Structure 1
Amino acid sequence: MPVFPLDNRLVFPPVQLAEPDGLLAYGGDLRPERLLLAYRSGIFPWYSEKPILWWCPDPRFVLLPRELKISASMKQVLKKGQFEITVNKNFSAVMSNCGRIARPGQDGTWITKEMLKAYEKLHELGYAVSVECWQNGELVGGLYGLRIGRCFFGESMFARVSNASKAAFITFVKQLETEGVVLIDCQVHTEHLESLGARFMPRAEFLGILEDHL
């Protein structure tokens, strides 16, 4: 199937037309209106150099908050209270750290200056959320993503000390569950998130949940 070019119009092609790897379209821009339309449609941007690439994989990697898995060792870490977890304390620092952290098998980062500026705008509008993990007053881990309706779209996380990102993620997922969030979009598979209960879901089912809860 073709990969569709985007212009200035706020429209995406049907996600069912995506390539087998999930690539759907290229081009367009990162203005808030387009980003929000993308997420509401089950689409996300992911690229390192222009053009902007837009994706909608099938299956989708997700976590249902009620299926969160917390290992015995992590329960002990959380019980000891060695970390302080906050929300929206320093969005820019969290996103910048996510862009700088080294990741196995990846060269460079998709969190460019353009992406940072775009998501900072979404943060100002109340959609983009950061979760910070502090230890002795120092930012040692965290994550960020978008909250729309009863769904959270996770973008990236980082850790500078062991268990920091897990502590932030677990604490936040438990908070989201109490607030009625039914789905956390993890986008693509990682062993880290799989260990916490994330699993694959058919794209059609994923899109149905978005339709019901956004």
Structure 2
Amino acid sequence: MSETPPLALLAPGDPFPSPRQAWPAGSPAPGLVAAGGALDVATLRAAYASSLFPWYSAGEPILWWSPDPRMVLTVQNFRLHRSLRRAVQHFAANPACEIRFDSAFARVITACAQAPRRGQSGTWIGPDMRAAYLDLHRAGHAHSVETWIDGELAGGLYCVAIGRAVFGESMFTRAANGSKIALAALVAWCREHGLPLIDCQQNTGHLASLGAAEMPREQFLQALGRLVDQPAPPWRFEPVYWAHLLSTQSSPR
């Protein structure tokens, strides 16, 4: 087994090391690239553009990750299972239901912070992370996809977008299928504008059931390099996107 390389320790403003220098499989923290730095807009944008994302708990320094393999949802492979198809059809036909982008970003990230992630006993979206992503949202690089029912926020997700690359972060639900409908809306929007993939960071059974699959980091880096410098489409959802999604999807059980 090869030795774990020294961990890069960053001061605010320092450039990131290559993601290829991440700690390997078999190390104490596979995919860990660096610690320290800052969470300002410029740093976060540079991190995502090079495949890194922050993930750490209270009391830890900022930790920057680039897993290998990477969990990625290729939007053409999204699985609209029969029960979710019915839920989307019902949602799309109901005048009291609406998808909104970016109308309640602060509420979405706060709701996401109330649920633990990746088996942790507490949230990873602490006050500093919420403040940082709110700044990133104001700068136009973080977005919320919101499921509204009868004027109430019923579920949603937030993501980061650099050019035509989309990085899913977290989701929440307060009604049946609330978060899944938001993800389906994001997939529909990506398909409509020709965005090929949504980064999901790490493997979970839930993501795999929706069509996400592992991709070698090198392949992900190559795809990312083609996408981040392209102009971003407008973050706006139109109801016609539902019809296009429903008309091109099969319905696996």
Q: TM-score, normalised by structure 1?
A: 0.96
Q: Percent identity?
A: 45
Matched length: 214
Partner residue in 1 for 2:247: none
- Deviation, structure 1 residue 138: 1.5
Q: 1:22 aligns with which of 17, 25, 31?
A: 31
Query: Are the equivalent residues in 2 in contact too, given 1:150–1:183 (CA < 8 A)?
Result: no
1:32-47 to 2 correspondence within 5 Å?
A: 32-47=41-56
Larger radius of gyration: 2
3-state secondary structure, aligned to 1:61:
strand
Range 100-109 or range 168-177, more displaced:
100-109
Amino acid at match of 2:210: L
- CA–CA distance in 2 between the matches of 1:102 and 1:212? 33
Superimposed CA distance per residue, residues 91-138 of structure 1 (whole angstroms, 9 cap, x where no aligned partner): 000000000025573211111111111111111111100011122222
* 1:90 counterpart = 2:90: no
Closer/same/farther in 2, CA of residues 102 and 18 from structure 1, 3 Å limit:
closer
* 1:73 counterpart = 2:87: no
Partner residue in 1 for 2:68: 58
- Deviation, structure 1 residue 8: 2.4
Partner residue in 1 for 2:221: 207
3-state secondary structure, aligned to 1:48:
coil
Superimposed CA distance per residue, residues 121-166 of structure 1 (whole angstroms, 9 cap, x where no aligned partner): 1111111000111222221210001111111011101112221100
- CA–CA distance in 1 between the matches of 2:118 and 2:111? 16
Q: CA RMSD in A?
A: 1.3
Is there any run of 5+ residues in structure 2 with no aligned partner, and where? 25-29, 229-253
Query: Are the equivalent residues in 1 in contact too, given 2:12–2:36 (CA < 8 A)?
Result: no
Q: Which runs of 4+ in 1 moved over 6 A?
A: none
Query: Are the equivalent residues in 2 in contact too, given 1:154–1:185 (CA < 8 A)?
Result: yes
Is there any run of 5+ residues in structure 1 with no aligned partner, and where? none
